[in-house]
Structure 1
Amino acid sequence: MDLKIYKDKQEVAEQFSSYFADKQKDKDAFYVALSGGSTPKIVFDVLVEKFSDKVDWSKVHFYWGDERCVSPTDDESNYKMTVEHLFSKIKVPKENINRILGEKSPEGEALRYANLLEMDLDRVEEVPQFDLVILGMGDDGHTASIFPHEIELWDSEDHCVVATHPDSGQKRVSINGKVINTAKEVAFLVTGASKAEKVKAVVEKTEGSEAYPASLVNPALGNLLWFLDEAAAARLNQNPS
């Protein structure tokens, strides 16, 4: 585990963008699963502003770790946010953008997307392998769209699952834990004081932390990085193991 702590979410975005640009440099193709949320939004803005000419976008193949079951024009759509903040401002081939079809039947779309990942990505023991999975973490310790009340979805046989938001009841399509933990690199982007308690629990493996899906992220073959701002890291011990 590699903890990277920066002053604020803007610096997190800038440092992550630099890391992203370096990672894809020497690859013929780079397969990444994107996350929604406020921090990725800033990352996309920074990528456009400072790194758009440093990334060969024709080699980057975009997927999503999760998506809300809404239309691609809905304000809650992770895809729409990415279009507005990234895709509309860079030159990326349309065929490199592989969105989860949130407007379709959730069960059918989970199956279709799992099949797409199996076809497009290299596989390790039959599990699709991303070069990079970007994750956020909720105040409740959820990641992708696997929530504590449905933590059993983490180990689902299906590479994509249908999840239900615990408060709104909204359906979501999400990759499962096997896909996350098979990735070559997994990067958490977590900012804000409201995340500090769960960051401490997940990073330091405190008692009861196994109830949080984010605590199950442990790439078997790759690296796990945390990009945190000082507010999110505030409760960590100085030298977490």
Structure 2
Amino acid sequence: MILLKVMEDIGIIRVKIWQMTECIVNYDLKIFDDLDELSEFFSTELKKQVDSTDNKINLALSGGNTPKYIFKFLVEHFAKKISWDKINFFWGDERCVPPTDDDSNYKMAYENLLSKISVPGKNIFRIKGEEVPEGEAKRYSEVINKTLPQQNHLPVFDLIMLGIGEDGHTASIFPDQLHLLYESKICSVAVHPATTQKRITLTGKVINNARNIVFIVTGKNKSKIVDSILTYNIESKNYPATYIKPVAGNLIWLLDKEASSLLKGN
């Protein structure tokens, strides 16, 4: 019994050490009543960032239903307000499918945003999902490396949009592929654990080198994973999103009320 108690105490200590060294990171948390309010905030912040510099902004887009809503909101309310020619558009990840496929993150962004705003084609840097994945990951890495400024021997995005899956994945870094968080490559090939579909994703080091990282999470089905990650419970060590912590940039979580419903005080 004494040995068991000692082992339990050691376990508690290990949990606390893991929480202190691996997870704790400063972030801003904003909770919105609905998607329109969230989209308004994101759109306004994007405009501020574009207006604050004479240089181009390097933005990595996310796929998913919530970004799709935000893209439509941008078109409806900010199409004439933002200097789109000052933004270079990249993607945080892409499924290995042609750009005409409904699974394509590029197709979703093009149909709901890029085709409806005044952005030069030279500002759009899509991942070619129809190409051989390993070769395309290398090519896209070279494009990013050549286009973006460098810091810490890595490219620096001005803003990266991220979502989160119910399994804790972000971009296309899945729980069974945590090594992608630490790879030296800019982009790598990931494999969806259920469908075995190949994807191309930014790696963790590049994501964490960004000036601004925005998690955009909505829906009751995301409330459990959000609570786990933001309260740093022991399960969260298995979730890739837990390890998104900028080296020198800003991290912000934008949640609707449903996604934040399990957080204390909400």
Sort the TM-score into its range (normalised by shorter chain): over 0.9
The answer as to whether partners of 1:110 and 1:173 remain within 8 angstroms in 2 is: yes
Q: Percent of pairs identical after alignment? A: 48
SS at structure 2 position matched to 1:81: helix
The 1-side partners of 2:131 and 2:202 are apart by 16
Structure with a larger share of its residues in helix? 2
Report the Cα distance in structure 1 between the residues aligned to 2:187 and 2:31, rounded to whole angstroms: 31
| Partner SS state of residue 210, structure 1 | helix
1:15 aligns with 2:44: no
Can you list the C-alpha shifts for 1:195-226, whole angstroms capped at 9, x where unaligned? 00110111111112111000001001110001
8 Å CA contact 1:13–1:39 kept in 2: the answer is no
Provide the secondary structure at the position in 2 that maps to 1:172: strand
Q: Which residue of 1 aligns with 2:12?
A: none
* Distance in 1 separating the partners of 2:120 and 2:146: 19
Q: What is the TM-score when the length of structure 1 is the normalising length?
A: 0.97
Of stretches 14-23 and 33-42 in structure 1, the one that deviates more from structure 2 is: 14-23
2:150 equivalent in structure 1: 123
Once the 2 structures are TM-superposed, how far is the Cα of residue 11 of structure 1 from its aligned partner? 2.1
TM-score (normalizing by structure 2): 0.88
Structure 2: which amino acid aligns with 1:109?
E
State the shift of 1:173 in Å: 0.1
Counterpart in the other structure of 2:230: 203
Q: Distance in 2 between matches of 1:20 and 1:139?
A: 27
Unpaired runs of 5+ residues, structure 1, are none
Residue 24 of structure 1 aligns to a residue whose secondary structure is helix
The list of structure 1 runs, each at least 4 consecutive aligned residues, that deviate by more than 6 angstroms after superposition, is none
| Aligned residue among 141, 163, 184 for 2:168 | 141
Deviation at 1:149, TM superposition (A): 0.9
1:228 and 2:251 equivalent?
no
User: Does the alignment pair 1:183 with 2:214?
Assistant: no
- Does 2:191 match 1:164? yes
Partner Cα distance (1:87, 1:117) in 2: 19
